[in-house]
Protein backbone atom coordinates (compact mmCIF):
# COMPACT_ATOMS: atom_id res chain seq x y z
CA UNK A 1 0.00 0.00 0.00
CA UNK A 2 2.58 2.58 1.10
CA UNK A 3 6.15 2.44 -0.11
CA UNK A 4 8.85 2.73 2.49
CA UNK A 5 10.92 5.88 2.27
CA UNK A 6 14.64 5.62 1.64
CA UNK A 7 15.32 7.53 4.85
CA UNK A 8 13.50 4.91 6.93
CA UNK A 9 15.38 2.01 5.32
CA UNK A 10 18.55 0.39 6.72
CA UNK A 11 20.60 2.03 3.94
CA UNK A 12 19.85 5.47 5.36
CA UNK A 13 22.33 5.15 8.24
CA UNK A 14 25.42 4.70 6.02
CA UNK A 15 24.11 7.42 3.69
CA UNK A 16 23.71 9.85 6.60
CA UNK A 17 27.18 8.97 7.85
CA UNK A 18 28.67 9.58 4.40
CA UNK A 19 26.82 12.88 4.00
CA UNK A 20 27.94 13.97 7.48
CA UNK A 21 31.59 13.04 6.87
CA UNK A 22 31.66 14.75 3.47
CA UNK A 23 30.04 17.87 4.95
CA UNK A 24 32.55 17.95 7.81
CA UNK A 25 35.60 17.66 5.57
CA UNK A 26 34.19 20.11 3.05
CA UNK A 27 33.58 22.63 5.82
CA UNK A 28 37.02 22.13 7.37
CA UNK A 29 38.95 22.38 4.10
CA UNK A 30 36.98 25.22 2.51
CA UNK A 31 35.75 27.25 5.46
CA UNK A 32 37.41 30.48 4.19
CA UNK A 33 35.45 30.22 0.94
CA UNK A 34 32.23 29.39 2.76
CA UNK A 35 32.55 32.23 5.25
CA UNK A 36 33.03 34.71 2.43
CA UNK A 37 29.72 33.57 0.84
CA UNK A 38 27.82 33.05 4.11
CA UNK A 39 25.72 36.27 3.98
CA UNK A 40 24.58 35.42 0.45
CA UNK A 41 23.80 31.83 1.44
CA UNK A 42 21.65 33.04 4.33
CA UNK A 43 19.78 35.48 2.09
CA UNK A 44 19.34 32.73 -0.50
CA UNK A 45 17.82 30.43 2.11
CA UNK A 46 15.08 32.93 2.98
CA UNK A 47 12.92 32.21 -0.10
CA UNK A 48 13.42 28.46 0.34
CA UNK A 49 12.39 28.58 3.99
CA UNK A 50 9.39 30.71 3.03
CA UNK A 51 8.27 28.16 0.43
CA UNK A 52 8.73 25.10 2.62
CA UNK A 53 7.39 26.59 5.84
CA UNK A 54 4.19 27.76 4.15
CA UNK A 55 3.60 24.20 2.97
CA UNK A 56 2.50 23.25 6.47
CA UNK A 57 -0.69 25.30 6.39
CA UNK A 58 -1.71 25.03 2.76
CA UNK A 59 -0.15 28.24 1.44
CA UNK A 60 -1.83 31.54 0.77
CA UNK A 61 -5.33 32.01 -0.59
CA UNK A 62 -6.65 28.70 0.72
CA UNK A 63 -8.87 30.24 3.39
CA UNK A 64 -12.64 30.39 3.47
CA UNK A 65 -13.90 33.97 3.46
CA UNK A 66 -16.78 34.55 5.86
CA UNK A 67 -18.31 37.53 7.56
CA UNK A 68 -16.61 40.91 7.28
CA UNK A 69 -13.37 39.77 5.73
CA UNK A 70 -12.45 37.49 8.59
CA UNK A 71 -10.42 34.45 7.63
CA UNK A 72 -11.18 31.07 9.05
CA UNK A 73 -9.07 28.08 8.12
CA UNK A 74 -10.47 24.84 6.82
CA UNK A 75 -13.20 24.58 9.46
CA UNK A 76 -16.71 23.44 8.70
CA UNK A 77 -19.51 25.91 9.45
CA UNK A 78 -20.92 25.24 12.90
CA UNK A 79 -17.87 23.24 14.03
CA UNK A 80 -16.37 23.59 17.49
CA UNK A 81 -13.31 25.36 16.03
CA UNK A 82 -15.44 27.96 14.28
CA UNK A 83 -17.53 28.56 17.41
CA UNK A 84 -14.39 29.00 19.50
CA UNK A 85 -12.96 31.36 16.87
CA UNK A 86 -16.14 33.45 16.84
CA UNK A 87 -16.28 33.54 20.65
CA UNK A 88 -12.64 34.70 20.83
CA UNK A 89 -13.27 37.28 18.14
CA UNK A 90 -16.25 38.72 20.02
CA UNK A 91 -14.36 38.73 23.34
CA UNK A 92 -11.48 40.55 21.66
CA UNK A 93 -13.80 43.15 20.17
CA UNK A 94 -15.53 43.67 23.53
CA UNK A 95 -12.21 43.97 25.32
CA UNK A 96 -10.96 46.45 22.74
CA UNK A 97 -14.10 48.55 23.01
CA UNK A 98 -13.84 48.68 26.82
CA UNK A 99 -10.30 50.08 26.63
CA UNK A 100 -11.29 52.92 24.28
pLDDT tens digits along 66-99: 544 455 555 566 788 888 888 988 988 888 777 6
* Three-state secondary structure readout of 41-63: HHHHHHHHHHHHHHHHHCCCCCC
| pLDDT value of residue 9 | 87
Considering only residues 90 and 59, tell me which one the structure prediction assigns the higher pLDDT: 90
4 or 84, which is more confident? 84
Place 30 in a pLDDT band, splitting at 50, 70 and 90: confident
Sign of CA dihedral 88, 89, 94, 98: positive
Amino acid sequence: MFEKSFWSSPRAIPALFLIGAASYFLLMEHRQHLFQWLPFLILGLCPLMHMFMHGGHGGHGNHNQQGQGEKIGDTAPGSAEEKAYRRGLEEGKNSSNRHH
